[in-house]
Structure 1
Amino acid sequence: MQSTFMDKLEDVLLPIADKLNNNKYLASLRDGFMIALPLIIFGSIFVVIANFPFLDKLLSESQFTAWQNAVGPASAATLSIMGLFVIIGIGYKLTERNGLEGIYGAVTALSAVLILTPQVVGKTEGVIPTEILGAKGMFLGIIVSIITSELYSFFTKKDITIKMPKGVPDQVSKSFSALLPVAFTLTIFLIIRILIAFTPFNTLQDLIYTIVQEPLTALGKGLPATIVAVLFIQIFWFFGLHGQIIVNTVFDPIWYSLNNENFEAFQKGLELPNIITKQFIDTFLVGMGGTGGTIAVVIGIYLLCRSKQNKEIAKLGTPASIFNVNEPILFGLPIIMNPLVVIPWIVSPVIITIVSYSAMYIGFVPKPSGVIVPWTTPIFISGFLATGNAWQGAALQLVNLCITFVIWWPFLKVLDKNYLKQELEK
Structure 2
Amino acid sequence: MENNKFMQFLESFLLPLADALNNNRYLTALRDGFMVALPLIIFGSIFVVIANLPFLDRVISPEAYTAYQNALGPASAATLSIMGMFVIIGIGYKLTAHYGQEAIYGGVVALAAFLILTPQVLEDVPGVIPTSALGAQGMFLGIFTAFLSAELNRFFIERGWTIKMPAGVPAAVSKSFSALIPITLTLSIFLLIRVLFSFTSFETMQAFIFTIIQQPLTILGSGLPATIIIVLLTQVFWFFGLHGQIIINSVFDPIWFTLNDQNLVAFQAGEVLPNIVTKQFIDSFLVGMGGTGMTLAVIVLIFAIGKSRQLKELGKLGAPAGVFNVNEPIIFGLPIIMNPLIIIPWMLAPVVVTLITYYSMAAGLVPRPAGIIVPWTTPPILNGFLATGNAWQGGVLQAVNMLVVMVIWWPFLRILDKNYYDTEQEEA
Deviations 1:179-222 (CA, angstroms, capped at 9, x unpaired) = 11100100000001111111121111111111110000000000
Structure 2 equivalent of residue 410 of structure 1: 411
What is the identity, as a one-letter code, of the residue corresponding to 2:144? Answer: I
What is the identity, as a one-letter code, of the residue corresponding to 2:253? Answer: D
Structure 1 equivalent of residue 76 of structure 2: 75
Deviations 1:265-315 (CA, angstroms, capped at 9, x unpaired) = 111111100000000000100011111010110011111110000000000
**In 2: Cα distance, 1:115 partner to 1:271 partner:** 34
Structure 2 equivalent of residue 141 of structure 1: 142
Structure 2 equivalent of residue 114 of structure 1: 115
State the identity as a percent. Answer: 65
**In 1: Cα distance, 2:247 partner to 2:51 partner:** 35
What is the identity, as a one-letter code, of the residue corresponding to 1:403? Answer: V
Structure 1 equivalent of residue 88 of structure 2: 87
Structure 1 equivalent of residue 290 of structure 2: 289
Structure 1 equivalent of residue 426 of structure 2: 425
**In 2: Cα distance, 1:48 partner to 1:358 partner:** 25
What is the identity, as a one-letter code, of the residue corresponding to 1:26? Answer: L
Structure 2 equivalent of residue 23 of structure 1: 24
**In 1: Cα distance, 2:424 partner to 2:7 partner:** 27
Q: Secondary structure at the residue paired with 2:203? A: coil
Structure 2 equivalent of residue 211 of structure 1: 212
Measure how far apart 1:387 and its partner are.
0.6
**In 1: Cα distance, 2:409 partner to 2:103 partner:** 47
Cα RMSD after superposing both structures: 0.8
Structure 2 equivalent of residue 375 of structure 1: 376
Structure 1 equivalent of residue 356 of structure 2: 355
What is the identity, as a one-letter code, of the residue corresponding to 2:136? Answer: A
Q: Secondary structure at the residue paired with 2:341? A: coil
Structure 2 equivalent of residue 330 of structure 1: 331
**In 2: Cα distance, 1:224 partner to 1:324 partner:** 26
Alignment of 1:381-396 (within 5 A): 381-396=382-397
**In 2: Cα distance, 1:229 partner to 1:9 partner:** 16
**In 1: Cα distance, 2:255 partner to 2:67 partner:** 34
Deviations 1:214-252 (CA, angstroms, capped at 9, x unpaired) = 000000000111111111100000111100110111110
Measure how far apart 1:123 and its partner are.
3.0
**In 1: Cα distance, 2:135 partner to 2:182 partner:** 28
Measure how far apart 1:124 and its partner are.
2.2
Structure 1 equivalent of residue 178 of structure 2: 177
Structure 2 equivalent of residue 62 of structure 1: 63
Measure how far apart 1:10 and its partner are.
1.5
Q: Secondary structure at the residue paired with 2:144? A: helix
What is the identity, as a one-letter code, of the residue corresponding to 2:13? Answer: V
**In 1: Cα distance, 2:55 partner to 2:349 partner:** 35
**In 1: Cα distance, 2:243 partner to 2:418 partner:** 29
**In 2: Cα distance, 1:58 partner to 1:154 partner:** 60
Structure 2 equivalent of residue 124 of structure 1: 125
Deviations 1:26-76 (CA, angstroms, capped at 9, x unpaired) = 000000000000000000000000001111111100110111011110000
**In 1: Cα distance, 2:114 partner to 2:253 partner:** 20
**In 2: Cα distance, 1:8 partner to 1:263 partner:** 42
1:161 counterpart = 2:170: no
Measure how far apart 1:122 and its partner are.
1.3
Q: Secondary structure at the residue paired with 1:345? A: helix
Structure 2 equivalent of residue 45 of structure 1: 46
Structure 2 equivalent of residue 341 of structure 1: 342
**In 1: Cα distance, 2:271 partner to 2:159 partner:** 52
What is the identity, as a one-letter code, of the residue corresponding to 1:170? Answer: A
What is the identity, as a one-letter code, of the residue corresponding to 1:358? Answer: Y
**In 1: Cα distance, 2:278 partner to 2:9 partner:** 34
Note the residue ranges of structure 2 that are not aligned, 5 or more in a row.
none
Deviations 1:380-400 (CA, angstroms, capped at 9, x unpaired) = 001111111111111111111
Task: Give the structure-2-normalised TM-score.
Answer: 0.98
What is the identity, as a one-letter code, of the residue corresponding to 1:142? Answer: I
**In 1: Cα distance, 2:25 partner to 2:6 partner:** 31
What is the identity, as a one-letter code, of the residue corresponding to 1:133? Answer: L
**In 2: Cα distance, 1:198 partner to 1:265 partner:** 34
**In 2: Cα distance, 1:78 partner to 1:69 partner:** 15
Measure how far apart 1:6 and its partner are.
2.1
Q: Secondary structure at the residue paired with 1:365? A: coil
**In 1: Cα distance, 2:269 partner to 2:30 partner:** 30
Measure how far apart 1:166 and its partner are.
1.3
Structure 1 equivalent of residue 307 of structure 2: 306
Q: Secondary structure at the residue paired with 1:334? A: coil
Structure 2 equivalent of residue 5 of structure 1: 6
Measure how far apart 1:3 and its partner are.
3.3
**In 1: Cα distance, 2:38 partner to 2:139 partner:** 15
What is the identity, as a one-letter code, of the residue corresponding to 1:279? Answer: Q
Task: Give the structure-1-normalised TM-score.
Answer: 0.99
1:236 counterpart = 2:231: no
**In 2: Cα distance, 1:138 partner to 1:4 partner:** 42
1:278 counterpart = 2:279: yes
Measure how far apart 1:5 and its partner are.
3.1
What is the identity, as a one-letter code, of the residue corresponding to 1:242? Answer: H
**In 2: Cα distance, 1:31 partner to 1:246 partner:** 12
**In 1: Cα distance, 2:88 partner to 2:247 partner:** 20
Measure how far apart 1:7 and its partner are.
2.9
Deviations 1:332-370 (CA, angstroms, capped at 9, x unpaired) = 111111111011001100110011001111111111000
Note the residue ranges of structure 1 that are not aligned, 5 or more in a row.
none
